[in-house]
């Protein structure tokens, strides 16, 4: 499995009524946050072991009630830098895909979406107990893995402020190890207002229906997959 950090991001959607400390967090109609992610993968199979990794920054904004989704990201992998955005609106079933090329030129594509914006949080399988980040108390939670039995997906959650702090995943096999970590900044337990880029205002519709997952950056593909 490649780009394991992609599984991490919507662990911040993992809030469930099973845990009393999260009950008030369930009242949220969405969230917004910035993030940065690091991923390390090593494959020792074969005669030439391979090691890869990437760094990513971005922001995510989801409105559960109105079905609005906004994502901005930049991914740095070896000598490659990819910058883009994804905007999705359930009301008119549209998705905007923004890509920035190596020369800084921005292109926005408009299409019909075959997915829906998440409408709620997903399940936590167990509470692993309290853990301090620096000196402030948080809780370590494990979510239900949709990958395989070799994968562990955990989050560090701030019960007091209903906020994701960090999320991470580890997958280990005989000849393969992948570890990814995402840290969340300026987390707000509600969606915020945003505007489409100017390039998207005049974008012409495409006849192709868009699968939103295929346009997510590397750190979010697995993370968002359970919702779409």
CATH number at residue 84: 2.50.20
The predicted model scores a pTM of 0.76
Q: Which domain holds residue 28?
A: 4-227
The pLDDT tens digits for 109-165 are 888 877 788 787 666 778 888 999 999 899 898 876 555 556 778 889 898 898 989
pLDDT tops 70 at residue 181: yes
Q: What is the largest CA-CA distance in the chain?
A: 53
Total of domains in the chain? 1
Task: Name the one residue in this structure whose structure tokens are 């369930």.
Answer: 26
Banded pLDDT at 187 (limits 50, 70, 90) = very high
């Amino acid at each position: 499995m490649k780009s394991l950090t992609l599984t991490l991001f919507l662990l911040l959607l993992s809030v469930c009524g099973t845990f009393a400390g999260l009950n008030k967090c369930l009242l949220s109609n969405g969230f917004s946050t910035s993030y940065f992610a690091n991923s390390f993968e090593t494959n020792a199979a074969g005669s030439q072991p391979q090691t890869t990794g990437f760094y990513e920054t971005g922001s995510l904004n989801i409105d559960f009630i109105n079905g609005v989704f906004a994502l901005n990201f930049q991914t740095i992998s070896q000598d490659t830098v990819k910058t883009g955005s994804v905007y999705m609106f359930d009301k008119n079933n549209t998705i905007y895909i923004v890509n920035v090329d190596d020369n800084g030129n921005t292109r926005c594509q408009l299409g019909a979406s075959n997915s829906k914006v998440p409408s709620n949080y997903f399940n936590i399988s167990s509470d692993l107990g309290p853990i301090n980040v620096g000196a402030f108390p948080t809780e370590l939670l494990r979510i239900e893995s949709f990958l395989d039995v070799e994968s562990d997906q955990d989050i560090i959650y701030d019960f007091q402020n209903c906020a994701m702090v960090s999320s991470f995943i580890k997958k280990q096999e005989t000849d393969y190890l992948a570890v990814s970590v995402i840290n969340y900044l300026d987390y707000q337990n509600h969606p915020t207002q945003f505007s489409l880029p100017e390039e998207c205002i005049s974008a012409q519709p495409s006849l192709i229906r868009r699968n939103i997952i295929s346009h997510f950056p590397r750190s979010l593909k697995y993370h968002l997959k359970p919702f779409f």
